[in-house]
Amino acid sequence: MRHSITLAVLLGVVSGNPALAQTQIKIATLAPENTQLMKEFRAGAVEIRERTVGRVLMKFYAGGVQGTESKVLRKIQIGQLQGGTFSPTDFQKQFADLNIYGLPFVFESEDEVRYVRERMDSEMKRGIEDVGFVTFGFAGAGFAIILSNEPVRSHADLKGKKVWLPEGDLISYEAMKAVQLSPVALPLTDVLTGLQTGLVDIVAIPPVVALALQWHTKVKYVTPTPVLYVMGFLAIQNKAFDRLDAADKELVSDVLTRIYTRIDAASEKENIAATQALINVGLHEVRPDTGEFEAIRERMVETNRSMAQQGMFSMAALEKMQGYIAEYRASLPAGAAEGAVVGNSGPVAGTRE
């Protein structure tokens, strides 16, 4: 009888142990461990574990230890991982329209981006859900600007130079071809070595990312003109997320959405500070020649339509975005949207030196 009571007690303890009901969600990211995003993720994982009493464990792999985004997607497919952080180009095959925000020389200011995103982000989020993933909002990384080892003031300064292209980014490849540049495709993890060895001459990257990845240590010049808008998102496979009960899904969504909302809201100020930091550590600031990048911008209008006609993204999505941009610019005072330079105090309309 005594043994039966002991066994019953033990069974009761074990069945009440939340560890038996644990669901672990493993997420990979290229973000280095010391970045604000990883600090937010670590804090979020603790909050989720505590508020679910251990039922949901979020495990984050930082710094690209699980490989490039394409490798992460393959590991998700076979169940080794359940999610990852991605850029729109990583979903080119699954949901091509997500890439329209990052078309080169489309946006001129953060205000334009904000206006469009307020009207189109929900559509982009639904598109990701339709291909089997749940996401929690988008975090802008700001505008990619030009970092180089020789001054870049004009289109001519770009010609003949080896310009970094993210591996698998077909849209940027087409854009570079249209303006007669020489792209070098490399995964993000290999760019630092590429700059050091001379395999790459020029990169376009948000300043806050350049600092985090130490790319600024291998270049001499910064041209703070807004080349393209960069953003990222966290995606978890639906079938993994569906293993959670309704209450835990809502909790996890709430925590991760708050993280992405905070990161997104802070990005503009962080990039202004990061641009200044690049100059403070010794990079020489180069101002583009008047009209040079506006000419490229005009050329890209036809290139973007050509890419849509080729099926690289839908014409409907492109025209909708262009319509919102035109709507925003029409609302500005005359002359207020004649180009922008990402300067020491952020994007400043009409600034030229």
Q: Give the strand pairing for 56-61 and 23-28.
A: parallel
Candidates 215, 165, 196; CA nearest to 32 is: 215
Among 89, 103, 113, 92, smallest CA distance to 300 is for 103
- DSSP string of 142-195, one letter each residue: EEEEEEESS---SHHHHTTSEEEEETT-HHHHHHHHHTT-EEEEE-GGGHHHHH
Q: Which residues of 34-68 are buried (b: 16+ CB within 10 A; e: fewer)?
A: ebbbbebbeebbebbbebbeebbebebbbebebbb
Q: Per the domain annotation, does 80 fall within a domain? A: yes
Burial class (CB in 10 A: 0-12, 13-18, 19+), 246: exposed
**What is the distance in angstroms between the CA of the first residue and the CA of the last residue of the chain?**
91
In a domain, 310, yes or no: yes
- Is residue 128, in this structure, part of any structural domain at all? yes
Residues 99, 124 contacting (CB under 8 angstroms): no
In three-state secondary structure terms, 202 is strand
pLDDT digits (tens), the chain, 353 positions: 444 443 343 333 433 444 446 899 999 999 999 889 999 999 999 999 999 999 999 999 999 999 999 999 999 999 999 999 999 999 999 999 999 999 999 999 999 999 999 999 999 999 999 999 999 999 999 999 999 999 999 999 998 899 999 988 999 999 998 888 899 999 988 999 999 999 999 999 999 999 999 999 999 999 999 999 999 999 999 999 999 999 999 999 999 999 999 999 999 899 999 999 999 999 999 999 988 888 889 989 999 999 999 999 999 999 999 999 999 999 998 766 555 555 433 433 333 33
Identify whether 53 is part of a domain.
Answer: yes
Report the distance separating Cα 234 and Cα 322, nearest Å. 26
Q: Which residue has the tokens 């590991």?
A: 75
Q: How far is CA 337 from the centre of its chain?
A: 25
CATH of residue 260: 3.40.190.170
Looking at the DSSP bridge assignments, the partners of residue 24 are: 57
Q: Is residue 4 part of a domain?
A: no
Q: Is residue 86 part of a domain?
A: yes
Spacing of C-alpha 183 from chain mean position: 20
> Is residue 350 domain-resident?
no
Record the pTM.
Answer: 0.86
Please state the domain count of the chain: 1
Q: Which domain holds residue 281?
A: 16-345
119 within domain boundaries: yes
